[in-house]
Amino acid sequence: MKASIALLPGDGIGPDVVTQAVSALDAVALRFGHTFEYRTALLGGCALDETGNSFPPETERTVLAADAVLLGAVGGPKWDDPKAVDRPERGLLALRKALGVFANIRPVKPHPIVRDATPLKPHLMEGVDLIVIRELLGGLYFGQPSERRVGQAGREAVDTMVYTEPEIVRILRVGFELARSRKKRLTSVDKANILSTSRLWRELATEVAADYPDVTVEHILVDAAAMYLIQRPASFDVIVTENMFGDILTDEASVLAGSMGMMPSASLGDLSEGGFRRGLYEPIHGSAPDIAGQNKANPIATIQSAALLLRYSLGLEAEARAIEDAVDEVLAAGARTADLAKPGEPVIGTDAMGERIADAIIRAR
């Protein structure tokens, strides 16, 4: 197969980890006889520095022309001025919007080898295998107005939470379909005791559930969900929730995965008539400016995001597995980046971890 992949390394450790994900993709190409063509473009702080725009038109053209998009991370203290008109994070939101990727899929399946990297008691970690589906294009992230202004009491600010029925229904359907292909349990997370958007969400979840009688549905308030994720993580299968709740709950869920450095994500759009579905793949971690360029970051979240890219955007299941198996093998052999190592355990760098995974992909031939 021949495929074009847009690379957006971004800021901080983004370029460090994307380089290693490309090595893994190259290893897959070699082993399975595919050709991947890469186009690199600017996004975030680096784009602001070079063009004055966090999501330049050229980047938009590049991502829209590609079969799939692999992103590192954006942001850093350099661009943190709260008064700035453009910010790296705005670029990321504009990118998600331009691609129309409304379904953010964040799997949490703790690797047995790094289970003791989590602060949770081992018995709670038994059987944890859940997926959070986060709505990515609505809610507080995009609602208007969102602004600072001066009111009667002085400075004030407003953000708007708005959801339409089609936006809610399409994300719920992604959740139900996925639950159907797994353990058939769906948890819909909202704040229906307070928010109107959540009451609409719950009403629609109940309606859509009628089309999926084989799926067991529970509705949980987001504050309780935060607690249950730690108390009984193994009880969840598919969790579906709105944008901001999903943002917060997935950072919490990453604790189950041992490290943020282990959490990949896929953001998918609608299936087009031609059977094409746009996809954006990125680790859930940020740009970690404190360790950028120091060969310290864990590249596994990005390498596993590349595996999701192969699976969801290119339909290459065996190839995706090859990456995931290689990660398993290398971890089982004891390779640990700093975030995974126990005190006293030897630590390897970003490049060495990436090289070992790429080697394992090719050796499995």
Q: Fill in the per-residue mask, 57 to 76: x = in contact with ligand IPM (CB under 6 A), - = not in contact.
A: ------------------x-
Active-site residue flag, 141: yes
Q: Does 282 bind Mg ion (CB under 5 A)?
A: no
Please say which residue, 286 or 357, places its beta carbon nearer to ligand IPM. 286
Q: Fill in the per-residue mask, 240 to 279: x = in contact with ligand IPM (CB under 6 A), - = not in contact.
A: -------x--------------------------------
Q: Which among Mg ion, ligand IPM, none contacts residue 86 (Cβ within 5 to 8 A by kind)?
A: none
Active-site residue flag, 191: yes
Residue nearest to ligand IPM (CB): 89
Please say which residue, 247 or 319, places its beta carbon nearer to Mg ion. 247
Q: Which long-range contacts (CB under 8 A, 24 or more apart) does 322-326 make?
A: 322/28, 322/31, 322/32, 322/361, 322/364, 323/24, 323/28, 323/357, 323/361, 325/360, 325/364, 326/24, 326/27, 326/357, 326/358, 326/360, 326/361, 326/364
φ and ψ at residue 166, rounded to 5 degrees? -60, -35
Distance between CA atoms of 132 and 227, rounded to whole angstroms?
15
Q: Fill in the per-residue mask, 209 to 248: x = in contact with Mg ion (CB under 5 A), - = not in contact.
A: --------------------------------------x-
Q: Does 92 bind ligand IPM (CB under 6 A)?
A: yes
Active-site residue flag, 183: no
247, 296, 312, 339: which is the annotated catalytic residue? 247
**# residues contacting ligand IPM (CB under 6 A):** 6
Q: Which among Mg ion, ligand IPM, none contacts residue 92 (Cβ within 5 to 8 A by kind)?
A: ligand IPM
Q: Which among Mg ion, ligand IPM, none contacts residue 89 (Cβ within 5 to 8 A by kind)?
A: ligand IPM
Running DSSP on this structure, what letter comes out for residue 141? G
Indicate the pairing of strand 103-108 with strand 266-271.
antiparallel
Distance between CA atoms of 41 and 205, rounded to whole angstroms?
39
Q: Restricting to residues 160-199, which ones interact with ligand IPM according to CB under 6 A?
A: none
Q: What is the DSSP string of 232-283?
A: -GGG-SEEEE-HHHHHHHHHHHHTTTS-GGG---EEEEEEPTTS-EEEEE--
Q: How many CB atoms lie within 10 A of CB 256?
A: 24
**Cα dist from 92 to 47, 69, 101, 220, 224, whole Å:** 11, 12, 12, 29, 29
Active-site residue flag, 251: yes
Rule CB under 6 A: choose which of 26, 60, 89, 177 binds ligand IPM.
89
Distance between CA atoms of 202 and 168, rounded to whole angstroms?
10
**# residues contacting Mg ion (CB under 5 A):** 1
11, 16, 67, 141: which is the annotated catalytic residue? 141
26, 251, 328, 351: which is the annotated catalytic residue? 251
If you search the block for the tokens 């006293």, which residue do you land on? 344
Please name which of 233, 260, 285 lies closest in space to residue 117, comparing C-alpha atoms.
Answer: 260
Please say which residue, 248 or 352, places its beta carbon nearer to ligand IPM. 248
Report the interhelical angle of 14-32 vs 300-308 (nearest 10°): 50
Distance between CA atoms of 181 and 159, rounded to whole angstroms?
37
Q: Restricting to residues 245-264, which ones interact with Mg ion according to CB under 5 A?
A: 247
Q: Does 101 bind ligand IPM (CB under 6 A)?
A: no
φ and ψ at residue 7, rounded to 5 degrees? -110, 130
Please say which residue, 107 or 349, places its beta carbon nearer to Mg ion. 107
Active-site residue flag, 223: yes
Please say which residue, 79 or 141, places its beta carbon nearer to Mg ion. 141
Question: Residues interacting with ligand IPM, by CB under 6 A?
Answer: 75, 89, 92, 247, 284, 286
Question: Residues interacting with Mg ion, by CB under 5 A?
Answer: 247
Catalytic residues: 141, 191, 223, 247, 251
